[in-house]
Structure 1
Amino acid sequence: MSRLGMSNKSKLAAEFIETGRLSSISIIDVHTHMGPFHGTYMPETSLEAMIHTMDRENIEWIISSAHSALFDPILGNGETEAAMKQYPDKIYGYFAFNPHYDNDLEERLAHFQQTEGYVGFKFLPDRHLYPLDGDKYTRIYEYAHEHKLMLLSHTWGHSPYNPPGMVEKLAKKYPGITFLLGHSAPGESDYAIQIAKTLPNVYLDLCDTGRLNGIIKKMVQEASSEKVIFGTDLPWYDPHYMLGSVLFSGIDDADMANIIHHNAVRLLKQKGNKQKGNKLT
């Protein structure tokens, strides 16, 4: 065993060092995208490339929304749906909602209900320049609360559109929704951690937080590992980048297993996912 492996008490970290992957436990990634993004080069944006990465790195399944859905929800959600249909055991979907395209919403919600693989909704308030507590989101909140769905929204500290304080108010108003704090509000991460600690329906998303030294250990110590979920922003980052941040964060293996696998499975089972709940492991 390498000196690095000997100095780390984690069996999962040691396994990764020796073999280059985790085989003893599969990874679940709850914050991913697919397809190209304007003005940015990413080498693995195709669905086939993403599936190859998942197989190589033992990622059992992901929850995703196409990049295009963040701007053209009709076309983009169709891309997500095609991916779920092609890989029903590997891909779940978020139904992306752009508040500037709120026409025919009831018809689109009916389509959501009938489409196999969707587990919730995806919001991007900072990109859409529309606040998370705006009226155009209300019908989505009501629907998600009624059906006990997940909602992933990007959150940024001190933002006028999606700060953690805004999520706190919404989570109290709609306890049936599981709110996933996308990126865990950089700049106000302490606030985000306290919300996750005190509200049972709020979870911290690791996506793009690995660069913040000590943040994962802090999340676990203050909010518990059961309130932290594994997200990577694939294809923006290789999932092993975020995995390394977890493996060498100084938390124990049981906490790591919660973050990279168990929490996501538990959330989808609790939400009574109709399509794939019996396949969750």
Structure 2
Amino acid sequence: MKKIDIHIYYGRWHHPISLHTVEDTFEVMDRHDIEKAVLMSAKSLCYDYREGNRDLFADIADQPRLYGFVVVNLHYPKESVEEIRRYADRPQYRGIKIHPSCTQISIAEGYDKALFDLVEALGKPVLLHTSNTKFTMPTICVPIAKRHPTLPFVLGHMGRPDWQNGIQAAEEAENIYLDPSCSFPDAPKIDESVRRVGAEKVVFGSSMMENNPGFTIGMIQDALITDAEKEAIFHGNAERLFGL
């Protein structure tokens, strides 16, 4: 079954992972039949968001299967707007990534109207890291999603152990979507997401190289949903939301 992965970390990571190059990315993608992918720079998340964005977009410039998120830091809204404008006209641009855990500021605390107005006008999604901390709970995003109704917000990891909170957020806002990549393979997670918000609101992401893609692929393949719903999750929704 065709797959598009919207959640891949690129570059050296703070975990002891040796796979970090474009060639490594292709090797893992091919092993799991992943046709296209959207990447974010690990350096941008953990060290310098501008330097990491520069490295990523330089490395994927001539790679037609690879696309990129611009990582922003909500502590620096003006500079983050400049970063988005710097890459938005590149064919690889597919949205922005916000990581409240790395930056220690929630999307609500760091909300900047000009930044989100710009991303909404550009027509590509926000990938938001979510988990179970005061910075990362999925429902924090709901009021902001409602202020920007045409901007898709994809909840990376859909709240990790608090995935029920992720589903709740997707129920409360039409433009919130779920990315189930994480380290918590709870058996009913995919089934319940599809039952409560529909397969059209679940988007495949793997979190490689941090996680093995087979982890999330297996959750979706073994879910008690139809093949058509699996097709939507594995590639159809990414094609629609990210223009892939």
Q: TM-score, normalised by structure 1?
A: 0.80
Supply the AA of the counterpart residue of 1:64.
L
1:76 aligns with 2:52: yes
Mapped to 2, the partners of 1:170 and 1:102 lie a distance apart of: 16
Q: Contact 1:210 / 1:245 at 8 angstroms: preserved in 2?
A: no
2:123 aligned partner, one-letter code: K
Alignment match of 2:182 (pick from 204, 208, 227): 208
In structure 2, the residue matched to 1:90 is 65
After superposition, the Cα gap between the structure-2 partners of 1:258 and 1:210, relative to the gap in structure 1 and judged at 3 Å, is farther
Distance in structure 1 (CA, Å) of the matches to 2:39 and 2:151? 18
| One of 123, 134, 139 as aligned partner of 2:114 | 139
Q: Which residue of 2 aligns with 1:99?
A: 74
Name the structure 1 match of 2:224. Answer: 250
Partner of 1:110: 85
CA offset digits 1:3-49 (Å, max 9, x no partner): xxxxxxxxxxxxxxxxxxxxxx32110111111112x2113222211
Cα distance in 1 between the residues matched to 2:115 and 2:69: 13
Tell me how far apart the structure 1 counterparts of residues 191 and 83 of structure 2 sit (CA, whole Å): 40
Superposed counterparts of 1:14-53, under 5 Å: 25-38=1-14, 40-53=15-28
Q: What is the rounded CA distance, in whole Å, between the counterparts of 1:145 and 1:265 in structure 2?
A: 18
- Conserved 8 A contact 2:124-2:241: no
Preserved contact between residue 81 and residue 115 of structure 2 (Cα < 8 Å): no
Separation in 1, partners of 2:78, 2:175: 29
Q: Deviations over 1:168-208 (max 9, x none)?
A: 11110111210001111134322321332342211011111
Q: What percentage of aligned pairs have identical amino acids?
A: 26
| Distance (whole Å) between structure 2 residues aligned to residue 145 and residue 134 of structure 1 | 19
Which residue identity is paired with 1:41? P
After superposition, the C-alpha distances for 1:120-144 in whole angstroms (9 at most, x for unaligned) are: 1000111211121124643321211
Q: Mind listing any 5+ residue stretches in structure 1 that lack a counterpart?
A: 1-24, 270-279
5+ residue gaps, structure 2:
none
- Aligned to 2:223, what secondary structure does the other structure show? coil
Q: How many residues align?
A: 243
Asked if the contact 1:204/1:227 (under 8 Å) is kept, the reply is yes
- Is the contact made by 2:38 and 2:68 (CA closer than 8 Å) also made in structure 1? yes
Partners of 1:166 and 1:74 in 2: CA distance: 26
CA distance in 2, matches of 1:83, 1:263: 26
Contact 1:147–1:176 (8 Å) recurs in 2: no
Q: Offset at 1:164?
A: 2.0
CA pair 143-251 structure 1, distance change in 2 beyond 3 A = same
Q: Provide the aligned C-alpha RMSD in A.
A: 1.8
Greater Rg over alpha carbons, structure: 1
Letter in 2 for 1:76: G
Cα separation, 2, equivalents of 1:101 and 1:27: 35
The 3 A distance-change label for structure 1 pair 137 and 125 is farther
SS at match of 1:258: helix
Distance 1:106 1:244 in 2: 37
The 8 Å contact of residues 17 and 210 in structure 2, kept in 1 or not, is answered as yes
TM-score norm. by structure 2 comes to 0.92
Q: Structure 1: how far apart are the matches of 2:238 and 2:101?
A: 25
> Aligned equivalents of 1:106 and 1:172: distance in 2?
21
- Whether the aligned pair in 1 keeps the contact of 2:95 and 2:124 (CA below 8 Å) is yes
Q: Distance in 2 between matches of 1:145 and 1:202?
A: 13
Shift in Å at residue 106 of structure 1?
4.6
> Residue in 2 aligned with 1:163?
137
Matched AA of 1:59: I
Shift of 1:165: 2.2
Contact 1:209-1:215 within 8 A present in 2 as well: no
- Aligned mates of 2:141, 2:135 — CA distance in 1: 10
Q: Report deviation, 1:115.
A: 2.4
How far the C-alpha of 1:56 sits from its partner, in A, is 2.5
Give the match's secondary structure for 2:107.
coil
Matching residue's letter, 1:79: D
Determine if contact 2:74/2:80 at 8 Å carries over to the other structure: no
Q: 1:180 to 1:171 in 2, by over 3 A?
A: same
1:228 lines up with 2:210 in the alignment: no
